[in-house]
């Protein structure tokens, strides 16, 4: 976490004002009083919760295709430990989640980047990558952490056939089970009328923050902002920097100016075509703070010689 007074454009979670704190608190309180909550849950997870994740994934899946995990990072670790011997290729978006790259490299795996466009992974290049590398397993991971709270570590692994059996065996070794209280609270939250309202409110709030950041970039860094993709969802904007920019120096200058940003390099499995920074608008108190933060980045760009439009 950045020091007090520093604007957090480097966070991957929701600001407390965007979290459903009251609904979560009520769900936990009800779950704590429910009979059986303090007993051990099934190792695969509570069946109603597994059913919810199966319905969300679609495709006629059932609870038998779902394992409850302690969030998405734990699910990634289980998948890579269970299914990929050292040296195996792992296809990843470019840029991608650095936690996935860390787990893959720690397991001795070989991340293979697949470029993205405005619609996501380029499917033509994904097909080529499957053919070239021989990669062949597809496993779906889902999590409740991002739209709720960093503390609600409840996710799911979704797979079929022999793959699921291998995942189940490793899941038991790695995590044993997810605490029943968290699973019961998650079920209560997902079944509450407030849940869809929270998602609608959250989507609107994130759009407001995204638009405020785009407007601030257009005003204070217009040439750098010209290539920014406006995402339809999510928490981040990616800013491509002039060739030769020292990402580390810019990140340091921004921190001295009172704003924390993420360098782009850790998000790429191989050398990126250009330097980048990633700006998060999710862990921000409001649009005024976003406007102030972009001004601070513009000042840091001037300090480090990153000229707008260079």
> Is 114 a domain residue?
yes
Q: What is the pLDDT of residue 68?
A: 96
How far apart CA 232 and CA 207 sit, in angstroms, is 8
Question: Are 265 and 200 in a shared domain?
Answer: yes
Question: Are 12 and 65 in a shared domain?
Answer: no
Question: Are 235 and 207 in a shared domain?
Answer: yes
Following DSSP, what letter does each residue of 225-237 receive, concatenated?
HTT----SSSSEE
> Is 253 a domain residue?
yes
> Is 220 a domain residue?
yes
Strand partners, 237: 279
Q: Which of 136, 152, 178 is the last residue of a domain?
A: 178
Task: Give per-residue pLDDT as tens, 186-243.
Answer: 999 999 999 999 999 999 999 999 999 999 999 999 988 888 888 888 999 999 999 8
Q: Which of 115, 144, 178 is the last residue of a domain?
A: 178
Q: Is the pLDDT of residue 115 over 90?
A: no
Q: Which of 131, 151, 178 is the last residue of a domain?
A: 178
How far apart CA 310 and CA 308 sit, in angstroms, is 6
Q: Higher confidence at residue 212 or residue 123?
A: 212
How far apart CA 98 and CA 29 sit, in angstroms, is 35
Question: Are 141 and 232 in a shared domain?
Answer: no
> Is 29 a domain residue?
no
Which residues in 257-269 are b (16+ Cβ under 10 Å) and which e?
bbbbbbbbeebbb
The pLDDT confidence band at residue 309, using thresholds 50, 70 and 90, is very low
Task: Evaluate whether 192 touches 27 at the Cβ level (below 8 Å).
Answer: yes
Question: Are 13 and 108 in a shared domain?
Answer: no
Question: Are 46 and 149 in a shared domain?
Answer: yes
Question: Are 161 and 204 in a shared domain?
Answer: no
- CA 265 → CA 11, 246, 251, 270, distances in Å? 16, 11, 12, 9
How far apart CA 182 and CA 34 sit, in angstroms, is 12
The average confidence (pLDDT) of the chain is 91
Q: What is the pLDDT of residue 308?
A: 54
**What percentage of the chain exceeds 70 in pLDDT?**
98
Q: Quickly list H helices, the chain.
A: 21-33, 47-57, 71-83, 98-106, 123-133, 161-175, 180-191, 194-220, 222-225, 247-256, 287-304
Task: Give per-residue pLDDT as tens, 12-27.
Answer: 999 999 999 999 999 9
Number of domains forming the structure of the chain: 2
Residue tagged 């293979």 (tokens): 112
Question: Are 213 and 173 in a shared domain?
Answer: no
> Is 172 a domain residue?
yes
Q: Is the pLDDT of residue 10 over 80?
A: yes
- The CATH number covering residue 245 comes to 3.90.1150.10
> Is 59 a domain residue?
yes
> Is 135 a domain residue?
yes
What average pLDDT does the segment 143-159 reach?
94
> Is 188 a domain residue?
no
Question: Are 67 and 169 in a shared domain?
Answer: yes
The pLDDT confidence band at residue 310, using thresholds 50, 70 and 90, is very low
Task: Give per-residue pLDDT as tens, 59-107.
Answer: 899 999 999 999 898 898 888 888 888 888 989 998 999 988 998 998 8
Q: What is the pLDDT of residue 118?
A: 77
- The CATH number covering residue 170 comes to 3.40.640.10
Task: Give per-residue pLDDT as tens, 295-307.
Answer: 999 999 999 988 6
User: Helix or strand or coil: residue 207?
Assistant: helix
Question: Are 47 and 132 in a shared domain?
Answer: yes
Question: Are 13 and 51 in a shared domain?
Answer: no
Question: Are 271 and 171 in a shared domain?
Answer: no
How far apart CA 82 and CA 173 sit, in angstroms, is 11
How far apart CA 181 and CA 37 sit, in angstroms, is 6
Structural domain for 57, as ranges: 42-178
């Amino acid at each position: 976490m950045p020091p007090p007074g520093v604007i957090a454009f480097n966070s991957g979670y929701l600001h407390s004002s965007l979290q459903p704190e009251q609904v979560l608190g009520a769900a936990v309180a009800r779950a704590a009083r429910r009979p059986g909550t303090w007993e051990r849950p099934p190792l695969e997870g509570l069946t109603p919760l597994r059913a919810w994740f199966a319905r969300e994934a679609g495709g006629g899946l059932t609870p038998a295709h779902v394992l409850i995990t302690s969030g998405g990072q734990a699910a990634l670790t289980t998948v890579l430990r269970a299914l990929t011997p050292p040296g195996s290729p792992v296809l990843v978006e470019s840029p991608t989640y650095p936690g996935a790259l860390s787990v893959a490299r720690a397991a001795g795996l070989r991340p293979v980047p697949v470029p993205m466009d405005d619609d996501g992974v380029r499917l033509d290049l994904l097909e080529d990558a499957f053919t070239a590398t021989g990669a062949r397993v597809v496993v779906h991971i889902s999590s409740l952490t991002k739209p709720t709270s960093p503390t609600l570590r409840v996710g799911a692994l979704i797979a079929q056939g022999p793959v699921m059996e291998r995942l189940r065996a490793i899941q038991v070794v790695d995590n044993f089970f997810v605490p029943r209280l968290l699973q019961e609270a998650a079920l209560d939250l997902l079944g509450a009328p407030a849940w869809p309202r929270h998602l609608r409110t959250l989507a609107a709030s994130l759009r407001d923050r995204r638009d405020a950041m785009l407007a601030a970039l257009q005003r204070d860094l217009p040439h750098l902002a010209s290539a920014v993709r406006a995402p339809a969802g999510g928490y981040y904007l990616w800013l491509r920097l002039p060739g030769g920019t020292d990402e580390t120096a810019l990140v340091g200058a921004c921190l001295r100016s009172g704003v924390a940003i993420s360098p782009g390099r850790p998000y790429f499995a191989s050398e990126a075509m250009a330097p980048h920074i990633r700006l998060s608008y999710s862990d921000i108190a409001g649009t005024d703070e976003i406007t102030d933060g972009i001004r601070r980045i513009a000042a840091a760009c001037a300090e480090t010689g990153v000229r707008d439009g260079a």
